[in-house]
Amino acid sequence: MLIFLEQMREFIAVAVLDGAHQMKVDSERDVASRFVNHQVELAQFHFHFAARAGSGWDFGRAGAVASPVTTSMSIGFGWFRAVARRFFFGMTASMSTAVAGRFFFAVAIVLGGFFSFGVVGVGVAVLVGLGGGRSMVVELRLHVGSARDKHVGQHAFGENDDGYQNCHKNRLEHDEPRLQHENGPGDFIANLGCSWRAHYIRATPAALAGGVCLPHLATVTIMPTPPTATGRSDHWLQLRRRCINGMAAILFALMVLQGMPLNINAASYAARWLCDWVGAGHYGWSMFAPDPDRQNHRISAEIMDSDDHVLATWSMPRWPEHSSLVRFRQHRWNEYYDNVWMNHHSRCWPALAQHIVRTTKRSPGNEAAPKQVRLIAETKTLSIPSGSRWPKPGPPEGYDDRWVLSIEPLP
């Protein structure tokens, strides 16, 4: 029974927290010792179980178990077993247990139960506990891990969803076989056909508590699954899964429309517009494409007074002359100079002119107040590689074109 309770504790705590979980059960002894030594974990189990099932009683139990001060308040194991059975297999906490649970919960919390959960845990407990009596179903999937355990038993309870069954089977075959293998003592995949599945806990006491199968468990996968019988929760899970599927399909479509060179500009624009609202927009992935740049460029400037006299000259850094560390640190400047010289960014040129004046040192005799800045662009076109020897790596010297971008008056 201890083994059973311990397993249930871990199963459900994990299921509540993670949604889907796989754990390894090493041995009967290991499970039993963990049960004895980890009171706090036991309390957490109650807490998570209660959070899931909305059971005030279990909050009380959690608080009581968690706090050494209130351990003495822990209600007897028999009662626990009885009510636990109700929780595990009956699924619904009755009004009386819920009310009693809230009482115990309140007392336990006051006496120190919150040491385990903290303020947030208490808040969640109160909120969920007030809702008490919600049904809870956990789907267990039990698998035989090694060849020698092959024919211990097979049980399938209430599984009527072929799609999901196939999905489960495919998942094990297709995804993470290594993980499955590592967590099980035997070749998990080879024994796939010997897996058991139980749809509801209420249907599994014989399989779980009968003692026939427990020593043979290798891996256990748990997924919280709403009952098909009650309808509502099942629909909720289905709906959630469908929503995720739909959202994934939409996001994938947006990825393709935004990123791929599809030449359907209106759709790509719409996709980008939509993605921009959530911050995930971009202009496609045309890196060095369709052809790499065939031009190096440089921006320079002449700071002038009113007489067209050049007070100082300025030029953007020549990047190949800098160390890789400097280039890394100056990366944003590199991008800025790469973009700002384009005509559609001409609105930013006055700010660039002022920045140049602020940061450029002038030689003695040229301290007159500058009146304007002449921004100059220079370009060097890269030669087309031909012949038996192509050009060496590295930018060619000099620039073969030069023009004035703008003359920016200073305020």
Partner 1 sequence: MKNDGLSLRQFWRTLSTSWTVFLHAPIDVRRFAFVRIGYALLILIYLAILYPDLETWFGPTGLYPAEVDAETKLPQLWSVLRWLPTEPLEAGIWLHRIFWLHIACTLLLLSGFCSRLNALMVYVLLISWQNRNPLILDGEDGVFRLVGFFLLLMPSGRAWSIDRLLWNRSVKDACALAPAWSLRLLQLQMVVIFVSAALYKLGGAAWWDGSALSYVVRLDDTFGRFRIPAWPFEIPILVRLMTWTVLAVELIAPLLLWFRETRRWALLAIVLFHLSNEYAMCLFLFHWIMLVGWSTFLTSGDLQSLSRFLPRSAP
**Which residues in 335-374 contact partner 1 (CB under 8 A)?**
335-340, 345, 347-348, 351-352, 355
Q: Does 260 participate in binding partner 1 (rule CB under 8 A)?
A: yes
Phi, psi of 317 (to 5 degrees): -60, 145
List 248, 264, 368, 404, residue binding partner 1 (CB under 8 A): 248
59-67, 78-86, 89-97, 252-260 -> range binding partner 1 (CB under 8 A): 252-260
# residues near partner 1 by CB under 8 A: 100
Per-residue tokens: 28: 């009967």
H/E segment holding residue 140: strand 138-144
Site for partner 1 in 217-246 (CB under 8 A): 221, 223, 241, 244-245
Judged by CB under 8 A, does residue 411 bind partner 1? no
Quick check: 21 binds partner 1 (CB under 8 A)? Answer: yes
Q: List CB contacts of 104: < 8 A, sequence separation 6 or more.
A: 57, 59, 60, 61, 63, 64, 73, 75
The least CB distance from residue 307 to partner 1, in Å, is: 28
Q: Which of 23, 73, 75, 107 binds partner 1 (CB under 8 A)?
A: 23
Task: Specify which residues 282 forms β-bridges with.
Answer: none
Q: Which stretch binds partner 1 (CB under 8 A): 145-153, 196-204, 320-328, 401-409?
A: 320-328
Question: With respect to partner 1, which residue has the nearer C-beta, 81 or 329?
Answer: 329
Biggest CA–CA distance in the chain, Å, is 102
Question: In the complex, what is the shortest distance from the CB of residue 291 to partner 1, in angstroms, rounded to a whole number?
Answer: 4
**CA dihedral of residues 90, 95, 99, 102 (deg, nearest 10):** 40
Return the residues of window 68-107 that contact partner 1 according to CB under 8 A. none
Residue 266 vs 384, nearer CB to partner 1: 384
Whether 259 and 282 have beta carbons less than 8 Å apart is answered as yes
Eight-class DSSP state of 214: G
Helix (H) or strand (E) holding 282: none
Of these, 318, 368, 401, 404, which contacts partner 1 (CB under 8 A)? 318
Q: Mention every residue, 6+ apart, whose C-beta is less than 8 A from residue 130.
A: 56
